[in-house]
């Protein structure tokens, strides 16, 4: 059996964390970690090889995108997806222009979330474990 894809969910909202966690862990191929703050996210990134980060745009853009810049420069094989509301699309597009891989608009259905994450994680787990 292959290793599970490791996903870090970084969101200050507990309901969103819970929704993303449940949606992704019901698929037996994902192992999810959750962080509410950028400091927690750094601790997890330093402790585990993460394949995909699903990060709230509010956390990503704080301090002029400092955490996003750090993730993109230190964990270069990790896929970074932003999440936010339709009103935050401009900020998410800014993050994509900096190197993030994409974004999702909240609210999102379980099916759509799974399909998007699966499309980004098909090949990244192997790269991160080399």
Q: Decide if 128 is inside a domain.
A: no
Respond yes or no on whether the N-terminal peptide bond of residue 38 is cis (omega within 30° of 0): no
CB 80 within 8 A of CB 68: yes
Question: pLDDT tens digits, residue range 43-83?
Answer: 999 999 999 999 999 999 888 899 999 999 999 999 999 99
Residue 18 lies in a domain: yes
In a domain, 127, yes or no: no
Query: In 1-130, which ranges are continuous DSSP H helix?
Result: 14-25, 38-47, 57-74, 89-98, 110-121, 124-128
The CATH number of residue 100's host domain is 3.40.50.2300
What is the count of structural domains for the chain?
Answer: 1
What count of other Cβ atoms lies within 10 Å of the Cβ of residue 122? Answer: 9
Residue 104 lies in a domain: yes
Any domain includes 130: no
pLDDT of residue 49: 96
pLDDT at 125 over 90: no
Whether 129 is covered by a domain: the verdict is no
Domain that holds residue 89: 5-122
Domain membership flag for residue 66: yes
Q: Is residue 93 predicted with pLDDT exceeding 80?
A: yes
């Amino acid at each position: 059996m292959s290793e599970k894809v490791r996903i870090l969910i970084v969101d200050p909202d507990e309901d969103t964390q819970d929704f993303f966690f449940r949606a992704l862990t019901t698929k037996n191929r994902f192992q999810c970690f959750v962080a509410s703050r950028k400091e927690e996210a750094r601790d997890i990134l330093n402790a585990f090889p993460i394949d995909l980060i699903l990060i709230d745009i509010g956390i990503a853009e704080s301090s002029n995108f400092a955490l996003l810049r750090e993730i993109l420069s230190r964990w270069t094989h990790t896929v970074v997806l932003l999440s936010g509301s339709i009103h935050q699309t401009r900020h998410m597009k800014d993050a994509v222009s900096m190197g993030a891989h994409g974004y999702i608009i909240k609210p999102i259905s379980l099916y759509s979330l799974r399909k998007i994450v699966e499309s980004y994680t098909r090949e990244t787990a192997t790269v991160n474990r080399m």
